[in-house]
């Protein structure tokens, strides 16, 4: 993780206070680093179909678990791939999405 990523604030689920979802949110967050690696690998391999599928799955899951910051970026990536946007632009969005995945945190913010 770069120094800039360390300085960025954590992203919390808006559903983090729901006792029914606490464990599910924690499991989702635990999987996000692997998803970020998968996004980067699919980009490097130029596997656009897999990358679009991963973005689509992440869009839905992030929304379901209350990570509203992740959902629109995953949606943007999915649309970029679907519309054949320049791979350099797609790469920037993959980086943005992977960074958001790394910032996602289970639990409730201290100041909440």
The fourth-level CATH superfamily of domain 19-105 is HPT domain (1.20.120.160)
Q: What is the pLDDT of residues 9-28, one digit of tens each?
A: 999 999 999 999 999 999 99
CA 55 to chain centre: 8
Q: Indicate the domain borders of the chain.
A: 19-105
Residues 109 and 103: their CA atoms lie apart, in Å, by 13
Mean pLDDT in residue range 87-107: 97
Q: What is the pLDDT of residues 69-80, one digit of tens each?
A: 999 999 999 999
The model's confidence at residue 112, banded by pLDDT at 50, 70 and 90, is low
Residues 75 and 83: their CA atoms lie apart, in Å, by 12
Burial track 76-100 (b if 16+ CB lie within 10 A, e otherwise): bbbebbeeeeeeeebeebbeebbbb
The pTM score is: 0.89
User: Residue 6: its pLDDT value, please?
Assistant: 54
User: Residue 2: its pLDDT value, please?
Assistant: 47
């Amino acid at each position: 993780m770069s120094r800039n990523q360390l300085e960025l604030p954590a992203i919390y689920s808006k559903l983090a206070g729901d006792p029914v979802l606490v464990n599910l949110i924690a499991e989702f967050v635990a999987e996000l680093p692997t998803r970020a690696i998968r996004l980067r690998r699919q980009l490097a391999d130029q596997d656009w179909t897999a990358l679009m599928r991963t973005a689509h799955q992440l869009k839905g899951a992030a929304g379901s678990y209350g990570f509203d910051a992740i959902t629109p970026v995953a949606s943007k990536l999915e649309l970029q791939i679907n519309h054949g946007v320049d791979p350099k632009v797609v790469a920037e969005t993959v980086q943005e999405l992977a960074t958001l995945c790394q910032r996602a945190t289970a639990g409730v913010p201290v100041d909440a």
